[in-house]
């Protein structure tokens, strides 16, 4: 159940953060390859840069493809390339594509409503978590894949 962008009754795994990092890495690598004259990279080539299994990269690239951030080429010269310019792909786009969980989550189960803290904690934390999520989203929206690559190369 989602209340104001906060999941109620579920947890957010640590993997959400690494999924964003892997996806940002893959996109930056695709952009660097494009700048070097290679429009298409295989999942194995991207996996070698990330230093992970190509299956993990294909899963990430699949999420990015569904969001329109990368395109897959089949057949001769198969691989992946950016779906739009790196200057137009924000880290918010990446986060939304690969991390469907909210940033923060509430209790697994309903707290004790007979307790004054249990009765009032959810609405208070929901407001705080919504504010934190809005700030987080705004920060990610200010950075593009191109910005990240420029910082890497600096």
Tell me the backbone φ, ψ of residue 12, rounded to 5 degrees.
Answer: -105, 125
Is the pLDDT confidence value at 7 over 70?
no
Tell me which of 54 and 99 has the higher pLDDT: 54
Class of domain 2-153: mainly alpha
Per-residue pLDDT at 95: 95
Is the pLDDT confidence value at 143 over 60?
yes
pLDDT one-digit tens code per residue, 84-139: 999 999 999 999 999 877 888 888 888 999 999 999 999 999 999 999 999 999 99
CB–CB of 71/80 below 8 Å? Answer: yes
Using a pLDDT cut of 70, give the percent of the chain over it: 89
SS3 3: strand
pLDDT band at 15 (very low <50, low <70, confident <90, very high): low
Tell me which of 78 and 16 has the higher pLDDT: 78
Planar angle of CA 118, 119, 124, nearest 5 degrees: 90
Is the pLDDT confidence value at 23 over 90?
yes
In the chain, what are the domain boundaries? 2-153
pLDDT band at 76 (very low <50, low <70, confident <90, very high): confident
């Amino acid at each position: 159940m989602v209340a104001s962008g906060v999941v109620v009754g579920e947890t957010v795994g640590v993997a959400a953060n690494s999924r964003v990092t892997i996806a940002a890495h893959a996109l930056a690598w695709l952009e660097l390859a494009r700048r070097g004259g290679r429009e298409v990279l295989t999942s194995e080539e991207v996996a070698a840069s990330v230093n992970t299994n190509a299956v993990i990269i294909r899963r990430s690239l699949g999420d990015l493809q569904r969001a329109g951030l990368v395109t897959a080429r089949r057949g001769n010269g198969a691989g992946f390339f950016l779906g739009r310019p790196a200057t137009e792909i924000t880290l918010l786009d990446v986060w939304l594509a690969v991390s469907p969980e909210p940033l923060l989550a509430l209790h697994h189960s309903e707290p004790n409503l007979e307790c004054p803290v249990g009765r009032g904690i959810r609405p208070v934390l929901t407001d705080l978590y919504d504010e934190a999520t809005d700030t987080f989203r705004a920060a990610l929206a200010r950075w593009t894949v191109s910005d990240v690559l420029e910082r890497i190369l600096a």
